[in-house]
Amino acid sequence: MSGRLPLLEDLGEVRGKRVLVRLDLNVPLVLEPSGRRVVADDFRIRAALPTLTWLLNRGARVTACTHLGRPAGAPDPRYDVEPVRALLSEMIPGVRLLENLRFSPGEKKDDPAFVASLVEGQDLYVNDAFGVCHRADASVVGPPRFLPCAAGRLVQREVEQLGRLIEDPERPFVVVIGGAKVADKLGLLDALAARADRLLIGGAMAFTFTQALGFDPGASLVDPSKLELCKALLAKTDNILLPVDFVAAGPAVELRPDSGIPEPWGRERARETLDDIRICGRSIPEGWKGYDIGPATTEMFCHVISDAGAVLWNGPMGVFEDGRFAAGTKAVAQAVAACAGRTVIGGGDSVAAVNRYGLSERIDHVSTGGGASLALLEHGDLLGLAALRESPFTAVLDEGRAAR
């Protein structure tokens, strides 16, 4: 990362200035029986408050903008920001919220005309939308070309916390990776393998690795296209710890996410017995699927985590949505929460897991951006951050500082 990230303090006097603030208010919505859409979780709105308060308290005139859901580049009543606007104005009055950015086809294309319409009439730009900082969207990379700009508090905190893990992690630095998508996370694993003291691999990810070592994954999730890359990674690093046992399920077992939603009436139950879930070694029987790390692995992983100076955790250790396969994820979540070192969690499902076990308060940093946090850890930088640093207005700021 070259150059310094401009922060709110770098904006100078903001009183009376019109400030465009890019936020990530992509909150989950629920449909009430009346047909009204309401915000189901205000986490992202709360996360935006420090920056908005900072600006309003100093007399700035704030226009906020966000995307919401995935409309196809055209207005769509299912995705208008009205429910977000209503709650935002209750939580913090005085902020104007623009309509869903993704109603314009120009947003996803970084279209110059759309950027021009966004910055028109604005004096300053603040990016506090960490979750989209890895995207070349118009509202993320466009305005810094035309306005003095800064990172908001949320982006600042993410960069500080994740940046320390990349640049100067406390030792031993333990990385725990799980979840389902090997293809998405191999680049990250590769980048972290060199920096971490220990890399613990669980979740469905583990089976492409155990297969690379010659063990039979049974019917577990593997990504055959990544076998060679996993072999290469195992060959060049000696700090990867793979599971030594798994909780596996036979063909009769159906996954049952315990979401609290009752099962539909009349649905036939799988004819599974207690014998259909078993603990296996590294090889999984034919037709069986590994759904969680086993007890020996769990103990080993928790032991390594307990001694860590810093822990980064991304991706659950198993199908934790189904209570029968949640033990590994829960134990790892508890070990991370209990660790005396600095603890960072990123990734939508891992964050959902710590929330489910009520442990998020005991984690030092829970990252708000799944894809963005992985991209920052992998590449050390994000397009949206580079746009702020490389803005012509930021350069002027730095020259001024050097001259003084």
Active-site residue flag, 371 = yes
Q: Are the C-beta atoms of residues 388 and 141 closer than 8 Å to each other?
A: no
Asked whether position 309 contacts ligand ADP by CB under 6 A, the answer is no
Q: Could you tell me the smallest distance in angstroms from the CB atom of residue 349 to ligand ADP?
A: 3
Alpha helices by DSSP H, 307-369? 327-338, 348-356
In the list Mg ion, ligand ADP, none, the entry touching 180 (Cβ below 5 to 8 angstroms by class) is ligand ADP
**Is residue 328 at the binding interface for ligand ADP, with CB under 6 A as the rule?**
no
For residue 46, count CB atoms less than 10 angstroms from its CB and return exposed for 0-12, middle for 13-18, buried for 19 or more. Answer: exposed
Return the SS3 of 223. Answer: coil
CB-based contact 103:69 (threshold 8 Å):
no
- Exactly one of 96, 109, 181, 236 is catalytic; which is it? 181
- The residues that bridge with 64 in the sheet, in sequence order, are 21, 97
Q: Does residue 321 interact with ligand ADP by CB under 6 A?
A: yes
14 binds, among ligand ADP, Mg ion, none (CB under 5 to 8 A by kind): none
Q: At what angle do helices 82-91 and 43-57 cross, to 10 degrees?
A: 50
Cα distance between residue 308 and residue 377, in whole Å: 18
204 binds, among ligand ADP, Mg ion, none (CB under 5 to 8 A by kind): ligand ADP
Distance CA 289, CA 286 (A): 9
Q: Identify which range of 106-114, 163-171, 296-304, 342-350 contacts Mg ion by CB under 5 A.
A: 342-350
Contact range with Mg ion by CB under 5 A, out of 39-47, 77-85, 346-354, 387-395: 346-354
Annotate 229-253 with b (16+ C-beta within 10 A) or e (fewer).
bbbebeeeeebbbbbebbbbbbeeb
Query: Does 142 participate in binding ligand ADP (rule CB under 6 A)?
Result: no
Q: Is 349 in the site for Mg ion (CB under 5 A)?
A: yes
44 among known catalytic residues: yes
Q: Which stretch binds ligand ADP (CB under 6 A): 99-107, 113-121, 211-219, 310-318?
A: 310-318
Number of residues that bind Mg ion (CB under 5 A): 2
- Residue 350 interacting partner from Mg ion, ligand ADP, none (CB closer than 5 to 8 Å by kind): ligand ADP
Stretch that binds ligand ADP, among 28-36, 124-132, 301-309, 317-325 (CB under 6 A): 317-325
Instruction: Name which of 169 and 203 has its Cβ closer to ligand ADP.
Output: 203
How many residues belong to the chain? 404
342 is catalytic: no
The residue from 187, 281, 348, 370 that is catalytic is 348
Please select the residue that binds ligand ADP; options are 123, 349, 364, 398, rule is CB under 6 A: 349
- Does the footprint of ligand ADP cover residue 203 (CB under 6 A)? yes
**Which CB sits closer to ligand ADP, 86 or 180?**
180
Say which of 22, 44, 226, 330 is annotated catalytic: 44
341 counts as catalytic: no
| Nearer to ligand ADP (CB atom), residue 143 or residue 179 | 179
Strands 61-65 and 96-97: parallel
Q: What share of the chain is helix, strand, coil (3-state, %, to 5)?
A: 45, 15, 40
Q: Do 150 and 197 touch, CB atoms closer than 8 A?
A: no
Peptide bond into 6 cis (omega under 30): no
Other Cβ atoms within 10 Å of 218 Cβ, number: 21
Q: Among 244, 370, 386, 390, which residue sits at the site for ligand ADP (rule: CB under 6 A)?
A: 370
Instruction: Return the H-helix or E-strand segment holding 199.
Output: strand 198-201
CB of 352 to Mg ion, least distance (A): 8
Sign of CA dihedral 20, 159, 377, 299: negative
State how far the Cα of 337 lies from the Cα of 98, in Å rounded to an integer.
Answer: 39
What residues line the site for ligand ADP (CB under 6 A)?
Answer: 178-181, 203-204, 221, 290-291, 314-316, 318-319, 321, 347-350, 370
- Point out the residues that are catalytic: 44, 181, 348, 371
